[in-house]
Chains A and B, each alone.
Chain A
Amino acid sequence: MIDIRISDCNKSYGTLKVLKNIDLEIERGEFIVLLGPSGCGKSTLLHIVAGLDRLTSGTIEIGGRDVTDVEPKDRDIAMVFQSYALYPTMSVRRNMEFGLRMRGKPLSEIRPLVEEKARMLHIDHLLDRRPSQLSGGQRQRVAIGRALVRDPKVFLFDEPLSNLDAKLRASMRTEIKKLHQSLGTTAIYVTHDQLEAMTLATRMVVMKAGEIQQVGKPEEVYHRPVNLFVADFLGNPGMNFMRGQIRLDGGRVSADVGAAMLPLDGYAFAMPPSDGQAVVVGLRPESVQPATGQAPAGSEPFVLTLKPLLTEHTGSDNLVVLEMGDQEIVGKFPTDPPPKLGEPVTVGFDLSRLSVFDAATERRL
């Protein structure tokens, strides 16, 4: 069942087009993450769903009702902000109560509700404090609690965790995930942290300059990016890109990337390649590993002997820069044994993870 439908939505500030023909359908209970570089219009899209910004053209439906011209308070949504946006002059309890009180709900009903949600978020001992007397993580819990007590149809999150330190962010991330699993409320979540996007999303939306690039399950977007931008934007360390040409030889397809011919027989081409077509072949560092003798299940073994130029120790892995003709690629190697610089090693490529892009259109082939 479609819960939110964004149809042909445009937003301009003067001549600046911030959102261009956005179309998105969100099922009930989905956790949608909007991901993209700074300034690509994620917050704007979220604000439009909330009704805090007017759209220039297009329509928004929530729960089957056209809410394009409906005030935020009547859209049955709740929102959590990056800056928490707690009311600083009120206690935590009043912060959580205030919205419901304004809606005329009797205090006798609000009180138990607030206590229950506060217990759920482990902030019940903080109810009588002011926001200024809380830590960042506690403040964000209160902000989430304020959204929860409203029991809305849709949760909107605008980078709720980006003011927290890495450790707290990770634990809050899992809590938000648990919360969503237990409540099952539809949510839209804006972030530019890929890890948050990959772990939280049931589907993610990658945006660039006001346009949706790709919508899909996190694994799908990660492993089958539709264009070079998405491929490059996701992943840390970033995907390896090798420039080359398609070679059609008899019934066989391969990509000539200078130092090697990468067989593409197993590759599911979306459009048929032509001989000599300029392409960019992408392969993530974790698909470039020291050869173990056996190939990963279901793919043919493909090995090359390459010279390590540089290694970076990240704690759990060694990132190894390998010389490949006149190009360089990065592989993710185990820390033990450390590769010796300048001494060629046999490297296995997991070709089932290849992505091939047209060099001119930058789209996936």
Chain B
Amino acid sequence: MRRFFQRHVSQIALSPSLALIAIFLYGFIGYTVAVSTTTSKAFPRFDNFVGLEQYWRLFHTPRWHVAFTNMFLFGGLFLLVTISLGLIIAILIDQRIRAESFFRSIVMYPMAMSFVVTGIIWQWLLNPTLGIEVMVHQLGFESFRLDWLTNPNTVIWALVIAAFWQGCGLVMALFLAGLRGIDEDIWKAAAVDGIPAWRVYVFIVIPMLAPVFLTVVVLLSLSIVRAFDLVVALTNGGPGVSSDLPSVFMFDMAFRRTNLGLSAASAVVMLGTVLAILIPYLYAETRERA
């Protein structure tokens, strides 16, 4: 009996958390998939199996299309802006500037805030009667207009800017760590070889950061799919449904429109999207290790 415990102590220690994960993570994923095959309304019911009908309905709901397209639009822009600016800021900070930790803290600070706070701050800043627009008017530029939040065509940029403001710190920190990890001698060799700094970045250093890029893309992609609080606090999906994201759609269907079946179907599609991002990443990671 003692020997059994000694030999299996790690399994025994892990088993409670494994059990919890099995029930509350995988159990409820299965439950959600099950709900998505029913016509459940306010409460889950399993006596009305309809197969994939909810998915068919989902992809024929115009609002879902807006939300799903927005996710890619918002996601693409957010990735592009955050990665390029995050990298540029990291490179600037890497130039052994004075007061480096001061600038680092400034860029990192928004990370300490919740998305709800970020959303509210940017709602105020972009509000035509309170924020930047009023400030610029007071400076004398009466014709200045900043209607991102009220214009359905540009509202996505408001989301991108707020999310960038929040996410930039993390991206910058990851890139800076990567840049600092590069062997000093590479820079010296390049200096002796007479390679200008920008070429060293473009041809040598940035390609060396490929693993960091991968990590950043995965982290940001997951936050895109999860993005909910920011949208609720900043635009609440408006104007109309023009800034809807799948997570907002799902929440709305489940708790406001009492359409659990459809909501569950959208949740499953989101899970599929996450897996589509994660599986290649995990595959690449494990292959690198092997």
A-to-B contact residues, CB < 8 Å? 47, 50-52, 71-74, 77-79, 81-90, 98-99, 102-103, 146, 150
Contact = CB atoms under 8 A, between A and B. Distances in A.
Interface residues of B, number: 17
A99 B193 CA distance: 5
Nearest to B207: A89
Given A102-B194, A102-B199, A89 B189 contact: no
A87 B186 contact: yes
A79 B188 contact: yes
A72 B192 contact: yes
A180 B192 CA distance: 20
B204 A85 contact: no
A45 to B, nearest CB: 15
A52 B188 contact: yes
Interface string B160-203: 00000000000000000000000101101111111110010001
B194 A85 contact: no
A315 to B, nearest CB: 36
A250 B196 CA distance: 73
Interface of B: 183, 185-186, 188-196, 199, 203-204, 207-208
B185 A81 contact: yes
B191 A72 contact: yes
A87 B191 CA distance: 13
Contacts of A88: 208
A94 B172 CA distance: 30
Chain B contact residues, majority secondary structure: helix
A81 to B, nearest CB: 4
Nearest to B200: A87
A150 B208 CA distance: 24
A168 B199 CA distance: 34
Nearest to B196: A102
Contacts of B191: 51-52, 71-73
A77 B208 contact: no
Contacts of A82: 185
A84 B189 CA distance: 9
A301 to B, nearest CB: 54
A90 B206 CA distance: 12
Contacts of B203: 87, 89-90, 98
Contacts of A77: 192
Given A50-B192, A72-B194, A90-B203, 8 more contacts: A50-B188, A52-B188, A72-B191, A72-B192, A74-B194, A89-B208, A99-B194, A102-B195
Contacts of B193: 73, 98-99, 102, 146, 150
A98 B208 CA distance: 16
Contact of B194 (A52, A73, A89, A90): A73
Contacts of A71: 191, 194
B198 to A, nearest CB: 12
B62 to A, nearest CB: 46
A85 B191 CA distance: 12
B185 A85 contact: yes
Closest 7 CB pairs between A and B?
A73-B194, A99-B193, A85-B185, A89-B207, A85-B189, A81-B185, A72-B191
